[in-house]
A = this chain, B = another copy of it.
Amino acid sequence: MVHDLQNTIALLSRTPAALDALLSDLPESWTHCNEGGDTWTVYDIVGHLIYADREDWLPRARKILQFGETQPFDPFDRLGHVQASQGKSLPRLLDEFACVRCECLDELRALNLQPNQLAMRGRHPALGAVTLSELLATWAAHDLTHLHQISRIMAYQYCAVVGPFKAYLGVLQCAGHSL
């Protein structure tokens, strides 16, 4: 299995429109409810995706290109989106996600990364050595892990009203929760 950066960019470029089509103007009982306790809502996740585009993926890519393994990545604040989302509607966050993603992909394409650069290593504060290629592939897989989580959070709102059909719905048996 070889990482093809064009496939990664193809997916990254589609996520904002897919989330917009699914979520914009959907009733808040789908988008503003969670899976209990301090778990996230769909609204939280959209804020997190914006925050990660701003603070995580490209800043870390730049650090690898500039410093290699000599400087570890800054730790990522998993609750950084809370303040940044405050007072904003979900449609506004979806628009913001489309903008920031577009800007990030413009910058990524402009870097015109070559195989030797994609093989460069950086230092993750917890995981140790990771390559630029792995970081960028994870950006796309991170979109997918949150699409997976969004569908699970939404299905959770219907776990009682589906009655006996629950047995047939894999999403209601999912234990693939992100750390």
Contacts and interface: CB of A to CB of B under 8 A. Distances in A.
A156 to B, nearest CB: 9
Given A2-B161, A162-B137, A175-B174, A127 B26 contact: no
Contacts of A127: 164-165, 167-168
A126 to B, nearest CB: 9
Interface stretch (A5-13, A85-93, A99-107, A109-117): A5-13
Contacts of A10: 26-27, 30
A73 to B, nearest CB: 12
A81 interface: no
Interface in A10-49: 10-11, 14-15, 17-23, 26-27, 29-30
A2 B176 CA distance: 27
Given A11-B154, A18-B18, A147-B147, A141 B26 contact: no
Determine which residue in A6, A10, A30, A171 has the highest number of CB atoms from chain B within 10 A of its CB, and name it.
A171
Residue among A20, A140, A176, A179 having the largest count of chain B Cβ atoms under 10 Å: A176
A148 interface: yes
A158 B141 contact: yes
Interface string A107-141: 00000000000000000100110110111011011
What is the total number of copies of this protein in its complex?
2
Interface of A: 1-4, 6-7, 10-11, 14-15, 17-23, 26-27, 29-30, 124, 127-128, 130-131, 133-135, 137-138, 140-142, 144-145, 147-152, 154-155, 157-165, 167-179
Those 7 A-B pairs whose CB atoms lie nearest each other, nearest first? A174-B176, A170-B178, A134-B163, A18-B22, A3-B161, A17-B21, A148-B151
